[in-house]
Chain A
Amino acid sequence: MYFFVYLGAFLLLIRLRTSVKFTELFEKWNTLLRWSSFGVIIAFFVFEKLLPDSIIPFIGPLILGGIVYFALNEADFKPVRSFVNTHIPLVIVGFIDAIVDLIAPKFYGEHDDIFQIAVLLGFIWIFARWASTKKQQQEMRIMSVKKDELEALVSERTAELTKQRNELQDLVKELKTTQTQLIQSEKMASLGELTAGIAHEIQNPLNFVNNFSEVSAELIDEMEEELEKGDKEEALAIAADIKQNLEKIRHHGKRADGIVKGMLQHSRQSNNIKEATDINKLADEYLRLAYHGLRAKDKSFNAELITRFSENLPTVDVVPQDVGRVLLNLFTNAFYATQQKQKQGDPKYRPVVEVATISKQGMIEVFVRDNGTGIPEHIKDKIMQPFFTTKPTGEGTGLGLSLSYDIIVKGHNGKIDVQTKEGEYTEFMISIPLTVKNN
């Protein structure tokens, strides 16, 4: 029966060697483990013949115990430590066997079958455990294969997602470019609508410049005549007129100048620089431009313009061309609404567009009201949406109010509200805080 102890030791060494096979530790242990496994077999035959009978039973358990001790204390065999542990019962049984045989040979002789079975059980225990461990290992191997598959899948998906994210980022970039282009084209479109208004607005002051300079030349001739006649008083009166005319020329020249500057400012890319702005002046300017813009297209159109500007309206820090665009948009819409209502043919209907400004509690408010068609309840929530328009295809970009919303709410921390009754009126209110954070 000692044979099983030796066999256990032999097989343990083989397993230890297998456990390091295919690792970098193999070279370190290969020779030692191989030779020692042969050594165990040789020891079995040699010691059986050479040593006295009383010592022989101790050799096997000693060798096996030694190997177990060595394997448990060697870090390189840590992964198979639980397998090494399964040899401990065999070692113990072997020792007990040897000790009992030594101190009570008679008792041992009577019950040697029990001891032999114990040794055999110790040996079988190793293999039972080995088999179950192997099964576990196989399961773990399957799990680890599955885990690898899963990880491969995850990394594949991650790569896919990263690719999608990059594509989306590109798309967002593209959309931003398109948005900028749209804003610019909306600006250019509204500038186009304004062209006629601007032409009219410039033509008027230019007419005055021409007329007043012509008449001044005539006046100088007359003044010379009066001086020749010696009528100094009349000559002085004419001189005063000429002086007044020159002031008028200057005034109307500046007026045209301001309009051209405003037009340039309108078409320019917004530089987002906020500056102290007189909203009354801005509103008045754009009200006229919007009015004449529509009039140029529909020459029979006439509207009453009412301005109720707060006299002591403080200046407010805004991006003037942005807020100008908002006002222009609101005026254009207002005139459009009254024009549409007029087309319904009520002979008593008179279009009225009103603009009012007030300042209160750290903010200024601008009201733009028209007595036009009003906004139907079911589209009231949509009017600020990009590309929403009630105008026929090609006439409106659908961006006017959505851009206005962005400018007032996002650009100036303000608010934009609308009150309306279908068929009666629409009133837009924008409020801008006096202290606008620069964002």
Chain B
Amino acid sequence: MKILVVDDEADVQPLFLQRFRKEIRNQEVEFDFALSGEDALKYLEDKHSEVVLILSDINMPGMSGIELLGHIREDFGDPPPPPVVMMVTAYGDEENYKQAMEKGANDFLTKPLDFDLLKQKLKNLTD
């Protein structure tokens, strides 16, 4: 399962790689990263069919996660099945949640990420 993680904090990358060390080694998951919404869209141009799950931060300079979500739902909605999008934010408030859900997010997670919960959610996805 290919997962795209979108976050402007570069250190998120080693964190995911280590947290999912075993899963990666067992080839259960595969990670790719983008540092901005714009990067993510560029990446998706080529690989949207491969990506199963997108985990995106909301608060990023430039294109926000919510905007990215809008583009994903508009541009990459056709089958093969559209990617699952989970929004991540440090500001876990009503407004963000409402907007994310309106724009078609599948889930909403708050920072700091609970990786055990995330793994559980991934398991539910694959089952």
Residue contact A204 to B90, C-beta cutoff 8 Å: yes
Complex: A200 Cα to B57 Cα, angstroms: 14
Verify if B18 is at the interface (C-beta below 8 Å from A).
yes
Contact string, A289-321, partner B, CB cutoff 8 A, digits 1/0? 001000110011011110000000000000000
B19 touches A207 (CB 8 A): no
Q: Are A207 and B91 within 8 A (Cβ)?
A: no
Q: How far is the CA of A79 from the CA of B101 in the complex (A)?
A: 111
CA distance A339 to B19 in the complex (A): 38
C-alpha gap A208/B11 in the complex (Å): 8
Chain B interface residue count, CB cutoff 8 Å, equals: 26
Q: From residue A246, how far is it (CB to closest CB) to chain B in Å?
A: 12
Within 8 Å of chain B (Cβ to Cβ): is A219?
yes
Judge whether B112 and A210 touch: CB under 8 Å: yes
A208–B111 CA distance with the chains assembled, in angstroms:
10
Structural contact, B90 and A212, CB atoms closer than 8 A: no
Q: A200-B90, A207-B112, A296-B91 are in contact. Are A303 and B15 (CB under 8 A)?
A: no
Q: Are A299 and B19 in contact (CB under 8 A)?
A: no
Q: Which of B27-35, B41-49, B59-67, B76-84 contacts A (4 or more CB under 8 A)?
A: B59-67
Q: How many A-B residue pairs have CB under 8 A?
A: 62
Complex contact B111–A207 (CB within 8 A)? yes
Contact yes or no, B112 A248, CB < 8 A:
no
Question: Is there a chain B Cβ closer than 8 Å to A215's Cβ?
Answer: yes
User: What band does the interface of chain A fall in when counting residues whose beta carbon is under 8 Å from B?
Assistant: 20 to 34
Task: Give Cα A207 to B91, complex, Å.
Answer: 13
- In the complex, what distance in Å separates the CA atom of A222 from the CA atom of B18? 11
Asked if A304 and B62 sit within 8 Å, CB to CB, the answer is yes
Say which residue of A203, A204, A211, A295 sits within 8 Å of B15 (CB atoms).
A211
Complex CA–CA separation, A203 to B110 (angstroms): 12
Residues of B with C-beta under 8 A to A203: 90, 111-112
* Contact present for B18 and A241 (CB under 8 Å): yes
- Residue A244 CB within 8 A of the other chain: yes
Once bound together, how far apart are the Cα atoms of A245 and B11, in whole Å?
A: 10
By beta carbon, the residue of chain A nearest B93 is A299
Mark each residue of chain B from 13 to 24: 1 if its CB lies under 8 Å from any CB of chain A, else 0: 011001101100
B21–A302 CB distance below 8 A: no
A17 contacts B by Cβ under 8 Å: no
Please indicate the chain A residues that have their CB under 8 angstroms from the CB of B90 in the complex: 200, 203-204, 207
Q: CB distance B18 to A303 under 8 Å?
A: no
Q: Is A299 in contact with B96, judged by CB distance below 8 angstroms?
A: yes
- Asked whether any CB of chain B lies closer than 8 Å to the CB of A252, the reply is yes
**Contact between B62 and A244, CB atoms less than 8 A apart:** no
Can you report 7 residue pairs joining A to B where beta carbons are below 8 Å apart? A200-B90, A210-B112, A211-B113, A245-B18, A300-B66, A300-B99, A302-B61
Q: A291-B61, A296-B91 are in contact. List 19 more A-B contacts (CB 8 A).
A: A200-B90, A200-B91, A203-B111, A204-B111, A208-B15, A215-B18, A219-B18, A222-B22, A241-B14, A244-B14, A252-B11, A295-B59, A295-B91, A300-B95, A300-B96, A302-B63, A302-B64, A303-B61, A304-B62
Q: Which 6 residue pairs of A and B lie closest in terms of their CB atoms, listed nearest first?
A: A207-B112, A302-B64, A304-B62, A305-B61, A215-B18, A299-B91
